[in-house]
Structure 1
Amino acid sequence: MTTIQDFTTQYGLVGKIDAFGYLDWLKANPEAPRKHGKVVLVTADTPLKASRGEGKTTTTIALIDALNKRGIDAAAVLRQPSMGITAAGSKGGASGGGKASLTHPEIIDWGLTGEMAAIAAAQNLLVSFAEKAVDEGRIDTVLVPRVSEVPSRSLRSIAVDYGKGNVAEKVVLTPTSELMQIVCLSRSMDEIGRRVAAMIAGTKDGKPVTFGEFVDLWRITGILGDAVKPAVTETVNGSPVYVHGGPFANVSIGIPTLVSVEMACALHDVVIVEAGYGADAGAQKWLDIAAREFGAQWPAAAIVVTRASTWRDDPELAWRYPFHVQRLENFDIPTFPLVNLWEGEDDQVEALRATAKELEFRDPIIGNLFRDGGDALAPQLDGFVAALDSAQSAPQFHSRKGMNLLEKVRWIAQNAYGVPSERVLLKPGFTDSLAEAAALCKGVGVSLDDLAVVAVKSPATMTDNDRAPEGERTVTLKKVEVHAGAGLVHVNLTTSLTTPMPKIV
């Protein structure tokens, strides 16, 4: 009998799964045994510092270990971390820690499952084709950036002398690239090919030119042959984990690939999906991009992770955590607060529970997950499991395709950041950037309003100044960037960098 093992090959110390092939086989064989797993979204509070995570991956790993300990078939889908920032020490890696860790964290942290390098090679090859197109007079402006896994301040703004004057180019981190977004959102190699063809290489006399007009796309899809296959590994306690997709929900979509989640849902009863940074970024993009625009499964429940210090020690920012929890509850997603304790904070548990009760949260889940792993969570999951058991089929939430771009951004500001539309401000130059983006879209036969919005923002703030009184908080729109192949449009909100530097550790 055909099983998932027939679609799995060994890739070093991990397995690689042909998820496209497996899902196609399931469609062709509707009688084949499969599950219809419920998706749980693990997201987080907005951290006090951009360089410190709240513990989403550690929580995700501990949670599936705890569920499996209770006899529930659970798996996790994680995003491949960025070697140059996450694994270099700024956030301590992205494969959990202590008793809530993967068996081979170094394989994940250092990009040795292969997709980051392949996606970087493919996008950089596209840029090389664009540069050659300048030489041949096909385009005169290169719009697609090179990518790198190791950031460099000097690469943030560069220009190349082609003998016809300098042509501006730029470099961004691999996870933020359009090609990474295409891999995350596509459900077949044919779709990847179509989307790469629709990427805008540059302009000629002000008119956009796509890669499909001058590149044989097999060169790109061939490089991605292994990159489109999710890696499969496990926790130190034997729970299954699939790793696929890109981080950085602050400057990209920050979600695992849709095919990895769909595949996991066919194999397991509960699938924990990790979203980037906070509920204002990763969760917002899972709901508004993955689910609303690309048909991903709506969560049956959510976990919002925080640190005790982040939640309670800064009164001016204390509004953010309850805002995140209530926002997800407003979408009828049962949402559970989880406090990931540091060493020495066990004496705060009762006070934390009292605060949660005052805020009318569901029963909070609290534990030192690095030290205790899933053992800390298993006794606390009665309410969570009950919510999963009672969850109905996912509601249908309509797409906002066709809604005016500014209206979509104002909706995000209101719902994800708590800032009403009248306090969404336009920085000088934004209107020109918007007009240029609309012209690019028109030139390739796409409506700007049909693209899903990627809010590009600081990971440590939700507004221009989170310490301002509620009635004075604003969000300033800065510029617009079209990713036509991915079907996305980036709108820069607060200070952010697509090539941030790692912290020295």
Structure 2
Amino acid sequence: MTGFDDYVRPYGLFDKIDAFGYLKDLREHSDMPRKQGRVLLVTADTPLKASRGEGKTTTTIALIDALRARGVDAAAVLRQPSMGITAAGSKGGASGGGKSSLTHPELVDWGLCGEMAAIESAQNLLVSFAEKAVDEGRLDTVLVPRVSEVPSRSLRQITVDRGKGDLPERTVLTPTCELMQIVVLSRSMEEIERRVAAMVAGTLDGRPVTFGEFVDLWRITGILTDAVKPAFTQTLEGSPVYVHGGPFANVSIGIPSLVSVEMACARHDVVVVEAGYGADAGAQKWLDIAAREYGAQWPAAAVVVTRATTWRDDPKLSWRYPFHVHRLEGLGIPTFPLINLWEGEDDQVDSLRQTADGLGFRKPIAGNLFRDGGKALEPQLDDLIKALQEPTNAQADTASLHDMSVPDRIRWIAESAYGVPADRVVEREGFQDSLQAASDLCSKAGISLEDLVVVAVKSPATMTDDDRADQDKRTVTLKKVEAHTGAGLLQVNLTTSLTTPMPKIV
């Protein structure tokens, strides 16, 4: 009988896993052993600054080390880092830190999985095909952007001098591009090929033209052969970790690939899934995109990470952390506040727990995970382990948003995830024109705009136009929309958002 090891191949100092093949055989062969692992979602407070992390990856690594020390078969699924925008790891390289680290973290930081480079090459090749199609008269505009792992402000909007007329183009970061979204959401190579074929390359006389109309797609899927395979690595304590896809929950979907999570759930009892940035970003997208729309597992429990300084040092922003915790609890997800202590903060624990008790939280889990690793958490996990063993309250996991219009879906997200009621969601001049243009493009391509899943594109450090405003004055501004027909997503830009942000200088 085929075993899991048959799907694993060496990849440098790590392994790569044919998750597509493994899951296909699990579906077709009932005699293959599989577990029914439960998802523990790790998210965070909204950071004070976009360039500063709260410690989700450090927490995730410490959690699986602690759970395994308590006898729980736990593994983690992490997103592949995008190092270009974090200024060589100044924010944190998505590989933990101190005693809560992965083995060979420098290799994880600098492209362990290989999908960043492969997806960049594949989408840029698609753009090159589109440019050639312009020369051949098959297109007169190019709509799919080039991508780059390293941001450059000068490339956000460019014009190509073709000698017989200028051709406007643009560049976005690799993790924000449509092809990355396709890899994260797809469950087979055939699905990736169908989705790439449905990508709108550009237009000809106003009619959208997809790549499937003029590109042999094996040229693209061949580049992605290794990029679609999750990488397998370990923590310093030997706990299993899968790394694959999906950084940047502020300007994309910000979740690991769905196949990597499904594969991990087939092999372990508890799978700790890290979602990008704060609960208003990555957690919102895991719940509303991965779970509601794509059938991923609804979390059995959640952990919301915060630094003590984020939670309490800016009184005008202190509402955000309780909002996140109570929102997840309100969805029937047992939610545990976790305070990621830094050096010199151990004496604040009693005070932090008193504040948490006054806010109606579950008993906070606290520790210096950089210094102490999973051992700091081991004695504090009784309630979390109990919650993971109880039946999931799945009251909200099947509620699709497709019955709403696109503007109503956006207002629903603003109210549920950001705390701004629908009547304070405002439209910037030009938003309706952008929405109509996206609707027309989809209609001409034979796609209903309403069938696309809304992805909020926003600042990672804010939930509203002004988080420091009084509660009854907070607003959310809708800026523009962009249809990703291959990924099946409709990106809606809110407040301050850039798909090619510049890194912090360190």
In structure 2, the partner of 1:492 is 493
Task: Write the distance in 1 (CA, Å) between the matches of 2:320 and 2:371.
Answer: 27
Q: Are residues 1:293 and 2:293 paired?
A: yes
Q: Which residue of 1 aligns with 2:271?
A: 271
Identity rate, percent: 76
Q: Per-residue displacement from partner, 1:348-388 (whole Å, max 9, x unpaired)?
A: 00000000000010110011110011001111001101111
Partner Cα separation in structure 2 for residue 17 and residue 87 of structure 1:
29
Unaligned 5+ segments in structure 2 are none
CA distance in 1, matches of 2:85, 2:376: 29
Q: Who is 1:370 aligned against?
A: 370
User: What does residue range 162-311 of structure 1 map to in structure 2 within 5 Å?
Assistant: 162-311=162-311
The answer (yes or no) to whether the contact 2:254–2:282 under 8 Å persists in 1 is yes
- Distance across 2 between alignment mates of 1:49 and 1:398: 33
Displacement, 1:393?
A: 7.3
Q: Determine whether 1:41 maps to 2:44.
A: no
**Residue-by-residue CA offset, 1:181-216 (whole Å, 9 max, x unaligned):** 000000000000000000010111222111011000
**2:83–2:89 contact (8 Å) kept in structure 1:** no
Deviation at 1:87, TM superposition (A): 6.1
Partner-residue secondary structure (3-state), 1:65: helix
Matches within 5 A, 1:64-463: 64-86=64-86, 88-392=88-392, 394-395=394-395, 396-463=397-464
Read off the aligned partner of 1:196 and give its amino acid letter.
Answer: V
Amino acid at match of 1:460: A
> Aligned AA for 1:332?
G
2:54 paired residue number = 54
Cα distance change on mapping 1:288 and 1:74 into 2, 3 Å: same
Deviation (angstroms), 1:401: 2.0
Q: Corresponding residue for 2:465?
A: 464
Residue identity in the other structure for 2:356: A
Q: CA separation in 2, counterparts of 1:373 and 1:143?
A: 47
Q: Separation in 2 of the partners of 1:355 and 1:56?
A: 22
- Asked if 1 retains the 8 angstrom alpha-carbon contact of 2:87 and 2:503, the reply is no
Task: Give the Cα separation in 2 of the matches to 1:240 and 1:90.
Answer: 25
Kept in 2: contact 1:293–1:401 (CA 8 A):
no
Q: Shift of residue 90 of structure 1?
A: 3.5
For residue 89 of structure 1, give the secondary structure of its aligned residue in structure 2.
Answer: coil
Cα distance in structure 1, aligned partners of 2:52 and 2:287: 24
Structure 1 residue 291, shift from structure 2 partner = 0.6
Return the letter of the residue paired with 2:503. P
Mean Cα displacement is larger for which, 46-55 or 155-164? 155-164
Amino acid aligned to 1:441: C
CA distance in structure 1 between the partners assigned to 2:168 and 2:203 by the alignment: 12
1:37-63 Cα distance to aligned partner (Å, 9 max, x none): 000110000000110010000000000
Opposite residue 31 of structure 1, the aligned amino acid is D
Contact 1:89/1:503, CA 8 A, preserved across alignment:
no
| Partner in structure 2 of residue 30 of structure 1 | 30
Contact 1:78 1:256 in 2 (8 A): yes
Between the aligned partners of 2:181 and 2:444, the Cα distance in structure 1 is: 22
RMSD: 1.0
**TM-score scaled by length of structure 2:** 0.98
Contact preservation (8 Å) 2:103, 2:235: yes
Q: Distance between the aligned counterparts of 1:3 and 1:367, measured in 2?
A: 39
Secondary structure of the 2:293 match is helix
Q: Secondary structure at the match of 1:232?
A: strand
Whether contact under 8 Å (1:35, 1:267) holds in the other structure is: yes
Deviation at residue 397 of structure 1 after TM alignment: 1.5
Shift of 1:249: 0.2
The CA distance in 2 between the partners of 1:310 and 1:49, in whole Å, is 10
Q: Which amino acid aligns with 1:492?
A: N
8 Å Cα contact 2:3-2:32 kept in structure 1:
no
1:34 deviates by 0.8
C-alpha distance in structure 1 between counterparts of 2:132 and 2:305, whole Å: 47
Residue 436 of structure 1 aligns to which amino acid in structure 2? Answer: A
- Distance in 1, matches of 2:240 and 2:178, equals 29
Equivalent residue for 1:502? 503
Amino acid at match of 2:361: F
**Alignment partners' CA distance in 2, 1:43 and 1:335:** 10
- Do 1:20 and 1:259's aligned partners in 2 also have CA atoms closer than 8 Å? yes
Whole-Å separation in 2 of the counterparts to 1:46 and 1:433: 28
Compute the displacement of 1:300 (Å): 0.3
* Stretches of structure 1 lacking an aligned partner (at least 5 in a row): none
**What is the one-letter code of the residue matched to 1:357?**
D
Give the 3-state SS of the residue equivalent to 2:88 in structure 1. Answer: helix
Secondary structure of the 1:373 match is helix
Amino acid of the structure 2 residue aligned with 1:174: T
What residue in structure 2 maps to residue 13 of structure 1?
13
Q: How much does 1:28 deviate? A: 1.4
1:429-448, CA deviations, whole angstroms, 9 ceiling, x for partnerless residues? 11110000000110111111
Contact 2:112–2:231 under 8 Å retained in 1 = no
The answer (yes or no) to whether the contact 2:333–2:393 under 8 Å persists in 1 is: no
